[in-house]
Amino acid sequence: MAETERSARERSFGRRLAHLGAAWRRQIDHDLRDFGLTEATWRPILYLGQLPPPVRQSDLARALGIEAPSLARLLDVLERRDLIVRTRDKEDRRSNLVRLSPGGQRIEHQVRQTADSVSARLLRDVSTGELQACYAIFDRIESALGTPRDAGTTPVAESVAPDTVAVLPCG
């Protein structure tokens, strides 16, 4: 590959990756619209279903990549809809612990199935080898950024990919 072509690809790589991640989330949003869920509501539900409960509210905010005050308002909405339960952390009274309610668990199952269906549909023509190559590239980029994958959030990233776009096709 000529140096100028490589430079052009490097310049557009992050933008294309971000665009694909946003498009991926829009597909999930579209498929979940009949459940009255938006990206703002299905993402925390999905993460809460994947992370070991209960989850500290601050850890959930970090995993979602949003600020704590924004998450607090969102959790207020989910709590009013009886999808989550928040309790004070006995080890740190300044922290809240969050878990899915029984109704939230049912919704999480539907969200996970929908996200899996979208992933299967979008990756239908991507071989296992191509997918493994993408993961290797993502791992190197994360290493260069100094942000290694968090073992606690890996299942979410691998099954959904909208935030880390860990399973988006490369090339």
Q: Which two tokens stand for residue 25?
A: 């989330």
What mean pLDDT, rounded, does the chain reach? Answer: 86
Q: Which amino acid is present at 22?
A: A
167 in a structural domain: no
165 in a structural domain: no
48 in a structural domain: yes
Residue 120's pLDDT is 97
45 in a structural domain: yes
Per residue in 94-118, pLDDT (tens digit) is 889 999 999 999 999 999 999 999 9
Residue 162's pLDDT is 39
pLDDT band at residue 76 using 50, 70 and 90 as cut-offs = very high
Residue 20's pLDDT is 96
pLDDT of 130 strictly over 80: yes
Per residue in 18-66, pLDDT (tens digit) is 999 999 999 999 999 988 899 999 999 999 999 999 999 999 999 999 9
Comparing 48-62, 132-146, 147-161, which segment has the lowest mean pLDDT?
147-161
Number of domains in the chain: 1
CATH code of the domain covering residue 49: 1.10.10.10
pLDDT band at residue 92 using 50, 70 and 90 as cut-offs = confident
Place of tokens 């579209």: 30
Residue 170's pLDDT is 43
Comparing 2-11, 80-89, 126-135, 153-162, which segment has the lowest mean pLDDT?
153-162
Residue numbers of the domain that contains 8: 3-160
21 in a structural domain: yes
83 in a structural domain: yes
168 in a structural domain: no
Residue 97's pLDDT is 96
> 78: helix, coil or strand?
helix
166 in a structural domain: no
DSSP states along 13-73: HHHHHHHHHHHHHHHHHHHHGGGT--HHHHHHHHHHHHSPSSEEHHHHHHHHT--HHHHHH
